[in-house]
Amino acid sequence: MGFKSADSDLTLTHLDQSGQVRMVDVSHKNRSSREAIARSTVRLSAGAYQLLTAQDNAKGEVLNTARIAGIQAAKRCADLIPLCHSLALDFVGIDFELDSENHQVHIQTTCRCSYTTGVEMEAMTAATVAALTIYDMCKAADKGIVIENTRLIRKSGGKSGVWEASDHN
């Protein structure tokens, strides 16, 4: 059930009918294969981007550290987001796309599991923490780094099936 708006069919499932916070009961749901893909973008100054990409070793260290941080964050999502279910993740993948023209790093995360609830929060948490790690490792060169456009791109599995952002790049 959940808290329903009086003038629409929209529901906030983490609130009960009286508006109190609750964890959603997923015990009645069937297990199914689930996947979520999320993205986040890190925008750096030209100088910070140049330092990030100047040497394969330096770039590898920053992005590999961000990858490990994102994977750890996905695995610990339920510890960070109060009403998230603990999931046994089958896969967490993190890829980076370097955009030298705009001095950006695009992060794409993929999480998969077979469970009774989706992995959207894990994918978005992974993207966010990977972006924060890039910020942390590059902030000495640029305190004005911007983390933006963290969002779900695609999800599949469960009763609601496939959902895909209509305007993702």
**pTM of the entire structure?**
0.86
In a domain, 54, yes or no: yes
Residue 1, pLDDT score: 56
Q: Is the pLDDT of residue 59 over 70?
A: no
* Residues 113 and 9: beta-carbon distance below 8 Å: no
pLDDT per position as a tens digit, 77-135: 999 988 888 999 999 999 999 999 999 999 999 999 998 888 999 999 999 999 999 99
Percent of the chain with pLDDT over 70: 89
Give the residue numbers spanning the domain of 46: 31-158
| 53 and 79 fall within a common domain | yes
| 22 and 92 fall within a common domain | no
**Residue 144 CB-half CA count within 13 A:** 4
| 151 and 82 fall within a common domain | yes
| 3 and 66 fall within a common domain | no
| 117 and 39 fall within a common domain | yes
- Averaged pLDDT score across all residues of the chain: 88
Q: Is the pLDDT of residue 169 over 60?
A: no
How many CB atoms neighbour CB 55 within 10 A? Answer: 10
| 87 and 60 fall within a common domain | yes
Cα R_g (the chain), whole angstroms: 18
Residue 4, pLDDT score: 52
In a domain, 38, yes or no: yes
In a domain, 163, yes or no: no
Residue 113 tokens, joined: 């599991």
Residue 164 tokens, joined: 């895909």
pLDDT band for position 65 (cuts 50, 70, 90)? very high
| 23 and 36 fall within a common domain | no
| 14 and 64 fall within a common domain | no
Domain count, the chain: 2
Which amino acid, residue 122? E
**Active-site residue list:** 136
In a domain, 61, yes or no: yes
In a domain, 166, yes or no: no
| 12 and 38 fall within a common domain | no
Percent of the chain with pLDDT over 90: 64
Gap between the Cα atoms of 128 and 108, Å rounded: 10
Residue 135 tokens, joined: 């910020």
In a domain, 66, yes or no: yes
pLDDT band for position 57 (cuts 50, 70, 90)? very low
pLDDT per position as a tens digit, 7-19: 566 777 777 777 7
In a domain, 14, yes or no: yes
Give, in degrees to the nearest 5, the angle at Cα 168 between 66 and 129: 20
CATH number, domain of 92, equals 3.30.70.640
| 3 and 78 fall within a common domain | no
In a domain, 113, yes or no: yes
Place of tokens 């990409």: 53
First to last CA, the chain: 34
| 86 and 131 fall within a common domain | yes
Q: Mean pLDDT, to the nearest integer, of 59-85?
A: 91
